[in-house]
Structure 1
Amino acid sequence: MGINQWAAWLAAAALGLAGGLGSAAAANAPSAPAAQKLDNATCQGCHDGKKGKLEVPKADGEKRELLAVNPDKYTKSVHAKMECVACHKEIIDSVAPHQKPAGVKKAECAQCHLDLWEAAKKDNKAAEKPRLGIVVENVEAYKKSFHAKQNKDDETRLNAICSDCHNVHTFDVPPRGTQERKEWHLAVPAVCGKCHEDHLEDWTGSAHGREADKKNFKTAVCSDCHTTHDIVGSSTDKAKLAITASCGDCHKDAYESYKASYHGQVNRLGYAYTAKCADCHGSHAIEASKDPKSKMHEKNRLKTCQKCHSGKEGKPGLATAGFLSFSPHGNSHDFAKYPEIWLTTKAMIALLVGVFAFFWLHSGLWWYREYADRKQGRSVPHVMTDKLPPELATRHVKRFGPMWRIAHLLFALSVMLLVLTGMAAFFPETSWAKAVMAAFGTPKIAGQVHRLAAYTMLGIFALHLVAVSISIARKWKDFRFFGPDSFVPNWKDMYDMIGMFKWFVGKGPRPAIERWSYWEKFDYWAVFWGMAIIGGSGMMLAFPHVVAAYLPGWVFNVAMVVHGEEAVLAAVFLFTVHFFNNHFRPDKLPPPDVVMFTGTQSLQEFRHEHRAQYDRLVASGELEKYLVDAPSAPFTLASKILGLVLIAFGLTLLTLIVIGFLGGGH
């Protein structure tokens, strides 16, 4: 072998050795990073909490600790079947630090659930996913809530997002009725307290918080009062009304008695300016009223009342000592605790039953007798006009002067306005009551109108007393208190009433009535009763600070009962019995009877309705001085239109009262 051949062999061997060494080195060198599959197992390989603390740098250079996810809890959560990257869309590389492309937004819990619901509806599977439907309802409520508003201190975020309250990796609502659900319920304050630290501290030391420490699962937590998702600012009317109603979910008896008070009536109408549970008892640091720390303790109660009843401009008069004995939760069921309310309520029920039983029976029998007489032709015409002189056949008898008629009209208008505004407060949960208040603007304005109408009625009543006193004084020598021209009941009224009932059942003739019938006298004196009871109690309620300076607070409880119940009695009596007597008896049809507007009555009708007075005037020769010309046709027509309008308004009010009564609005 020549030298050249040996050289070639040596070169080849060197190249082979170099190649072998290079391959070996390459085989032993570290490999380049390669991305792994982004599944849950891969994520939990680092984020299961077993690898120690994981931190990543933030934009400002500070480090942020990553959340550890317990795999066992995650598999039991509502999101167990979801992949981590379904929410963490910005993670596209499993190698730390994760590569995050620009412009990729984080997942939005609300939008994801809304999209799932829309897809379920599109596939006609919404009925199969009732829980998702509830979530969507919560989402819609949240979007309108205070939490969904922009944070004033940090405009880059909202006040609270889903993950602030819900641990998205372990979230699951336990089934109702389970021990887990009860424990979950008691854990709510700790969640809310992460942001509302001061409120949590107050609640923890309160009667509610102490019960929670004792594992009383019925105690109130944040969500019981503020709801879970439909949370609005506590200063809004919506929140005040909702929280007050929430108190009633647990304190049912106290809430029912509160609703019967003026404070509660306004609240039920949808307005929040009167006292509510939180105004008297506090919001978070609530204590039992026997606790010296309670705002309702007897040592603190007057000061609490004076927060609203402060006497300042636009506020009720300053609360006085009598407020202390007022029972804001008094009821008519507990005689031992509230004997005054119990006795008053029973007395008012007896009065209502007695009055309506007698007069509705009276009206029913009267209608039957007149209807039967008309059917048999025994009451038409009222009198035989051919027995009257021709010059008298078309004459009228003067019954009421101008002052009487004006007073009656103003009285009727004020009463109807009182009924409208008063019954709206008495039946606050009816839809018509809310509509009435909306028409007036607010209960405050309706209350002002109510009091204006009351002062008008009281003024008319006072002027009437003055006029009657002057009239009696002028006729003092000849005036007979129990005579035929007097409104004072006498023995003839009793005989007439007995005679009417005999006539009703066909056992005697219709009695001859004097100038004022017994039912007219009842109407007249009922006004005195109403002024004393309704007017007196109304004035007490309108000026509580004055009354409480001299009388105990329980008089307000009694005043509320008699003012409302007597008003119902008066209104229903007016629009049933009074309307029947004067407008709807068969002899009066078609309505209206306009004698209170024209002041006169045809001689024929006068003789029929007041036969005893007619005979007396004829015998004494005084009939002529009461005779007047019939009112003009236009005046009569206007009177009929006015009468029909008032009757229609009265019957409408009666219908509203019946709706309120049957609908359980009071």
Structure 2
Amino acid sequence: MSDSIKTKNKVRVNNPATWLITGIVLTTMSLLWQTDAMAATNPATDKLDDATCLSCHSKAITLPAEEDADEDEAPPRIAAVHDEKIEKGVHSGMSCTTCHKEIVDNNAAHKKTGIGKPDCAGCHRDAWRTIQSENLISEKARMVIVVQNAEAYKESFHAKSAGKEGVKASCDDCHHTHDFNVPPRGTSKRTEWQLTIPNVCGDKCHDDTLEDYVDSVHGKEVMEEHNLKAAVCTDCHTTHDITKTSQDPFKLSITSRCGNCHEENYLSYTSTLHGQINKLGYSFTAKCYDCHGSHDILKVDDPDSMVSEENRLETCQECHDGKKMPKAIASMMSFGPHATGEDFNKYPQTYIATKFMHGLFIFVFAYFWAHSLLWWQREYKDRKRGIGPQHIRTDEILQGKAVQIRRFGLIWRIGHLLFAISVMLLILTGMTVFYSYSAWAPYVMRALGGPEISGLIHRVSAAVMLGIFFLHLIGVSINIYRNRKTFRWFGPDSLVPNWKDFRDAWGMFRWFAGKGPRPVFDRWTYWEKFDYWAVFWGMGVIGGSGMMLAFPHVTAQILPGWIFNVIMVVHGEEAFLAAVFLFTVHFFNNHFRPDKIPPPDIVMFTGTQSLDEFRRDHAMQYLRLVESGELEKYLVDAPSKPMTIGSRILGIVLLACGLALLTIVVIGFFSGNAPHG
């Protein structure tokens, strides 16, 4: 019986079902043990948090190569993320999935949603909206800068597509997003950070450029001397709104960026034609890097520098190559691209020219503004006391008829009108360049159609003005030749100054002071003669210097290069003198004296003048014509009403234009940063 019981209690080890059940139990227990072991060593596996991510990403990960990758192409890698660096960065308070929203599980081959890769700009933009809605702007002021930078980046050259590689440079290429932090200004950390910028740009993308930079004057100062004042990549190219160097936005802004460090050189550059038209939107002109180089800039006294004496001509000929512009020649090399009128030791010719023009300003304006002011107060006092203009009592000729006396013929009037219009256009286009730094200059230049159109208007106007001037000279010469037997160079009909003019000028000042009577004038008053001969001076100085600038290759065949510095000073300063004189002294003498109010005086448009005014202003000629019996041949019918109205409208328009030009010139003069020191 006991044997039978023993037999019943024995396990049937040879039964297949027993083996199957045993295997299942052991396998289940093994799996449960492994899970418990992993849970014991890595408790974060059941959730998607930073610890989970760092369990893999604390070391670099090599990804499988793409199917279409080249054999020599290294497989893609994910850089290691170090927890201690994250803690020091600006994103330390954020979790991994705040940015990596596309990750939804913690498997090695992550399951991803349809959301794209991290979008730095979008994230900061969303954060900014939250800050605004919660009224936290004052507490999060730096976010304003971040959002502005992000928006600038979106429009930059770096954000442009680079094919399958995505954008040319992403935020992470420069900022190392996981541990990024901009140290405060003035700290040693800030110094260390700024000194790494060339390597950040060069090692990542621009390796050839970095090679040039490290040997340049800027690179040596940064890399060897740790000089924070020396230029790094971002000083010239900016940080976020980087533009393509071959396009206008970069070419039109680079000089001012150089000027952030080289202030004096920038100011002197902007007083030259190169700098003036570049500032107004013309990119095809010499900029800092055209002459000095860009990444490989060397000191000026370095024999290998682009602007050394040995290389300067070749550098200039890069632009002045004889094709689009006249070819630069050796005699031009004494031209000073940064010459100013304040340094006699370096630029004596420019200094002397500048001081001469300033002395001329003082003399002309001191005399004529005093003359105008005294004249105004004397006529004003006379009118207030009821003292009318002086008259010479004579019998009226053709009494009862509306007659006037003819002073200027048709040719004189047409010439004056064209001359006035051309001069105003020259002042508008020329002073816009001369005062290119003024707030109004860019607006005027855009209204004119840009520097190229403005330059064309300037040259056409100059041709018209010079043409009228030379035609006048020819006409005067013919008239003198025809009347050579009777013409008197210092007679009453001549515009050549004589002793009477000096006596009249002295007499006017005595009259201003109430010490004598008002002088009696002949056909031409001394101020009319001054206006006339001022044109000859202006044509010689402004026109002559303008022609020399228009044909530099011809000028350089005869004169040294520094002459261009001198004539640029003279051309601009004399134009300023002419503009201010015309629109103050000339306008006052002819339109704004109390006896001329209301303006305008239309004698230069109708050609005629009332007998009353003629007797008052040109009494000696009037008496002479009466005594000789020639007065009647100069008498003409008064201009028609339409002619009078049209002349007044034209006069008002020209006066308004002149005063508007005077306003912008004065604003330019007082805007600071005046050309040539």
Take 2:617 and 2:548, find their aligned partners in 1: how far apart are those partners?
41
Matched-pair identity in %: 56
- How far 1:76 sits from its partner (Å)? 0.7
Take 2:243 and 2:177, find their aligned partners in 1: how far apart are those partners?
23
The Cα offsets for residues 471-512 of structure 1, whole Å up to 9 and x where unpaired, read as 112222222211111111111111111111111121111110
Q: Which residue of 1 aligns with 2:325?
A: 316
The Cα offsets for residues 287-335 of structure 1, whole Å up to 9 and x where unpaired, read as 12221211111121112112222221xx221112222000000011111
Q: 435, 441, 445: which one pairs with 1:437?
A: 445
Is residue 87 of structure 1 aligned with residue 99 of structure 2? Answer: yes
Q: Which residue of 2 aligns with 1:263?
A: 274
- How far 1:611 sits from its partner (Å)? 1.3
Contact residue 165 and residue 191 of structure 1 kept, 8 A? yes
Contact residue 428 and residue 665 of structure 1 kept, 8 A? no
Q: Which residue of 1 aligns with 2:85?
A: 73
User: Which residues of 2 match residues 290-369 of structure 1 at below 5 A?
Assistant: 290-312=301-323, 315-369=324-378
Is residue 274 of structure 1 aligned with residue 292 of structure 2? Answer: no
Take 1:83 and 1:600, find their aligned partners in 2: how far apart are those partners?
90
User: Which residues of 2 match residues 503-652 of structure 1 at below 5 A?
Assistant: 503-652=511-660
User: Which residues of 2 match residues 17-56 of structure 1 at below 5 A?
Assistant: 27=29, 30-32=33-35, 35-49=45-59, 54-56=61-63
Q: Which residue of 1 aligns with 2:249?
A: 238
- How far 1:71 sits from its partner (Å)? 2.6
Is residue 158 of structure 1 aligned with residue 167 of structure 2? Answer: yes
Q: Which residue of 1 aligns with 2:143?
A: 132
Amino acid at match of 1:137: Q
Take 2:195 and 2:188, find their aligned partners in 1: how far apart are those partners?
11
Take 2:79 and 2:497, find their aligned partners in 1: how far apart are those partners?
91
Q: 391, 401, 408: which one pairs with 2:399?
A: 391
Take 2:211 and 2:349, find their aligned partners in 1: how far apart are those partners?
41
Contact residue 385 and residue 604 of structure 1 kept, 8 A? no
Q: Which residue of 2 aligns with 1:105?
A: 116
Is residue 188 of structure 1 aligned with residue 228 of structure 2? Answer: no
- How far 1:638 sits from its partner (Å)? 2.2
**Secondary structure class of the residue paired with 1:628:** strand
Take 1:400 and 1:25, find their aligned partners in 2: how far apart are those partners?
123
The Cα offsets for residues 53-106 of structure 1, whole Å up to 9 and x where unpaired, read as 6434344498544422333222111111222233334444445x3432463532
Take 1:637 and 1:10, find their aligned partners in 2: how far apart are those partners?
138
**Secondary structure class of the residue paired with 2:92:** coil
Is residue 175 of structure 1 aligned with residue 178 of structure 2? Answer: no
Take 1:307 and 1:11, find their aligned partners in 2: how far apart are those partners?
103
**Secondary structure class of the residue paired with 1:86:** helix
Q: 274, 278, 298: which one pairs with 1:287?
A: 298
Take 1:107 and 1:639, find their aligned partners in 2: how far apart are those partners?
71
Take 2:660 and 2:27, find their aligned partners in 1: how far apart are those partners?
104
The Cα offsets for residues 491-537 of structure 1, whole Å up to 9 and x where unpaired, read as 11111111111111211111101111110111011001001110111
Query: Aligned-residue CA RMSD in angstroms?
Result: 2.6
Counterparts in 2 of 1:2 and 1:437: CA distance versus 1, 3 Å: same
Q: Which residue of 2 aligns with 1:205?
A: 215
Q: 477, 482, 496: which one pairs with 2:485?
A: 477
**Secondary structure class of the residue paired with 1:601:** strand
Amino acid at match of 1:168: T
- How far 1:242 sits from its partner (Å)? 1.8
**Secondary structure class of the residue paired with 1:271:** coil
- How far 1:224 sits from its partner (Å)? 0.4
* TM superposition score normalised by structure 1: 0.93
Take 2:135 and 2:595, find their aligned partners in 1: how far apart are those partners?
67
Take 2:241 and 2:56, find their aligned partners in 1: how far apart are those partners?
38
Q: Which residue of 1 aligns with 2:664?
A: 656
Contact residue 281 and residue 450 of structure 2 kept, 8 A? no
Counterparts in 2 of 1:99 and 1:479: CA distance versus 1, 3 Å: closer
Is residue 377 of structure 1 aligned with residue 367 of structure 2? Answer: no
The Cα offsets for residues 397-420 of structure 1, whole Å up to 9 and x where unpaired, read as 221122211211111111111111
Counterparts in 2 of 1:108 and 1:508: CA distance versus 1, 3 Å: same
Is residue 456 of structure 1 aligned with residue 464 of structure 2? Answer: yes
Unaligned runs of 5+ in 1: none
Take 2:659 and 2:23, find their aligned partners in 1: how far apart are those partners?
114
Q: Which residue of 1 aligns with 2:42?
A: none
Unaligned runs of 5+ in 2: 40-44
- How far 1:282 sits from its partner (Å)? 1.4
